[in-house]
Amino acid sequence: MMWFSLTISLILFRMLREDNMIQRFGISLENDLLHAFDKRIQKKGYKNRSEAIRDLIRDSLIEEEFTDGNKQTNAIVMIVYDHHQYNLAQKMTGIQHEHHDTIIASLHSHLDKHNCLEVILLKGKAGELQHIADSIISTNGVKYGKFIPATAGDVL
Ligand code: NI
């Protein structure tokens, strides 16, 4: 297998941007992996690899934030459900009222005659946010649900 080592750059210089030091470092990776990465970031509209790598690091740090169940943080839950489904709309409202101190806002959009899209914003301890999200998403009749970790950005 052919290995291709790419050195983006070594720690050649540092420069100041705002009050945060920018440092350069080298990354070595296989040729195929680099091509796949370049293809992906081009599709996503990144102008350069650095910004794409920064975003990957940020994603990883946000993920890390959620491994500490007691950490105060933020999250979004997105669900799609059929409001004709027996009792479901009431159940959704019930869950949200039950957690009124954690659920800080929600947006409801009537997608069509049957389906509702709901975006719910949560603020509180990471573990609790995950638990509430799980109970919302696993409610019978929810067609699709996604938990999206967010952050106030302390770690970024
Ligand atoms: Ni609706």
Length of the chain: 156
Are 26 and 59 in the same domain? yes
pLDDT reported for residue 151: 84
- Our count of domains for the chain comes to 2
Average pLDDT of the residues in 69-92? 91
**pLDDT 10s digits, 110-148:** 999 999 999 999 999 999 999 999 999 999 999 999 999
pLDDT at residue 5, as a whole number: 46
Q: Report CA(14)–ligand 1 centroid distance (Å).
A: 53
Could you give the CA distance from residue 80 to residue 39 in angstroms, rounded to a whole number?
A: 32
Q: Separation of 130 CA from ligand 1 center, angstroms?
A: 24
- What pLDDT is attached to residue 20? 72
> Is residue 1 one of the residues assigned to a domain?
no
**Is the residue at 110 inside a domain?**
yes
Measured distance CA(120)–CA(84) in Å, rounded: 20
Q: Indicate if 123 and 140 belong to the same structural domain.
A: yes
Q: Does one domain contain both 20 and 83?
A: no
What are the φ/ψ torsions at residue 75 (nearest 5 degrees)?
-160, 165
Domain that holds residue 50: 14-65
Question: How many angstroms does the Cα of residue 114 sit away from the middle of ligand 1?
Answer: 8
